[in-house]
């Protein structure tokens, strides 16, 4: 029997980040950021120029998301995760500037795995293909920066019981590797 999902308030502190283990199911409630490729590129360029971002990364969790337009009466359209590997070139820099965690789908590079351990910021996965269901967990969507990027802008999301799985923990655990292992020994 699978243990119940762990309820977490986001953003979470360093101790909570360290307590998460690969394979653990979580339900997130609170505020997370949403951003995709173009916003990540812009954030890193800004930081590399020694400038401040128009929002704080300190302790933040970023969901790799480019939502579809909301239908009338909805907060957001489909809100499924984007492939995380596309953010890999930018992730170590953002972690060095205080980012506490990430939510996406798919594998991460060795450089990102090392940065996850170094900065204590886990990588969580949301279920791809379930964007319409995930959107029900998003109660508020507010663009914070780069509105000209449309769905790739940085936004604040108020989430309630947003489901995710810890894929890479800060101790080197990798659920994509260990979760598959029993099935590879056939």
- Is the pTM value of this prediction over 0.85? yes
Does residue 105 sit in helix, strand or coil? Answer: strand
How far is 76 from 67, CA to CA, in rounded Å?
7
- The per-residue pLDDT for 179 is 80
Number of residues written out for the chain: 186
Domains, the chain, in order of start with CATH, read 6-184 (3.20.130.10)
> 3 or 60: which carries more pLDDT confidence?
60
Q: Tell me, what's the pLDDT at 134?
A: 93
- What DSSP element (H or E) covers 97? none
**Average pLDDT value for residue range 6-19:** 96
């Amino acid at each position: 029997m699978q243990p119940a999902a762990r309820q977490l308030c986001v953003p979470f502190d360093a101790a909570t980040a360290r307590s998460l283990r690969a394979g653990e199911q979580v339900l997130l409630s609170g505020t997370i950021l949403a951003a995709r490729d173009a916003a990540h590129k812009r954030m890193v360029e800004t930081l590399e120029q020694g400038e401040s971002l128009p929002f704080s990364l300190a302790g933040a969790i970023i969901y790799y998301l480019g939502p579809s337009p909301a239908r009338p009466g909805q907060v957001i359209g489909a809100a499924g995760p984007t492939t995380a590997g596309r953010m890999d070139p930018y992730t170590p820099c953002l972690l060095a500037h205080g980012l506490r965690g990430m939510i996406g789908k798919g594998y991460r590079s060795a450089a990102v795995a090392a940065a996850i351990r170094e900065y204590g910021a886990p990588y969580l996965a949301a279920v791809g293909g379930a964007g319409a269901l995930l959107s029900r967990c998003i109660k508020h969507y507010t663009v914070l920066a780069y509105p000209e990027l449309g769905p790739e802008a940085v936004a604040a999301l108020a989430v309630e019981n947003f489901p995710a799985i810890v894929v890479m923990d800060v101790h080197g655990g990798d659920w994509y590797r260990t979760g598959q292992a029993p099935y590879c020994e056939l």
